Amino acid sequence: MTLTHLFFDVGGVLGTNGWDHEQREAAYARFGLDAAAFEDRHKEIVASLESGRASLDEYLACTVFYEPRPFSADEFRAFMFSLSQPFPATIALARALAGAARWRLATLNNESAELNAHRLRHFGLADIFGVCFTSCWLGTTKPARRIYDLALAMSQAEPGASVFIDDRERNLEPARSLGMQVVHYTGAERLRADLAALGVVP
């Protein structure tokens, strides 16, 4: 079957993770937070944050600003956003694939609405990807099968004609079970080679 759709994860593929444990640890050090207390509260609300049922302000009120702090929510939010850095080589590859106009490109990622909007702008993804299937807008997160079903249905893509790229094996498993081609991302050059093996060459 001819490949028609390419689905890219964002955090860990097109740039650094948005708010994973590495980023949270940086915040603990920067703002002097109790890591155990933060993680306990984070676990209670992160699913709601990433599925669009809680805003970033609600998340921060639960995890950080439930007591007085010597810094503002704006300062903390700005620091969160500053941790997001693009992977230029991978983005350049995606841009070249989009420019070839042989495949439809989309993102398929877990992210809060506010952080997702920032990263789409900061990474310059809006002019590369025709659509963004993000957990905060779809109401479900990877690796739940529903997010893959929705992305395929809404893009009118056949699983066998689609490639999903992610840096986490557990997120690849549902896509593979649906019949999608999958690529485990470990770096831009490896991705280029893996896509070339599937006949996807800019």
Name the band, by pLDDT with cuts 50, 70 and 90, for residue 95.
very high
- Contacts (Cβ under 8 Å, ≥6 apart) of 41: 62, 63, 66
In this prediction, residue 80 carries a pLDDT of: 98
Whether 108 has a pLDDT exceeding 90, the answer reads: yes
Name the band, by pLDDT with cuts 50, 70 and 90, for residue 82.
very high
Omega before residue 143 within 30° of 0, cis: yes
φ, ψ dihedrals at 113, nearest 5°:
-60, -45
In this prediction, residue 103 carries a pLDDT of: 98
Whether 1 has a pLDDT exceeding 90, the answer reads: no
Average pLDDT over residues 8-22: 97
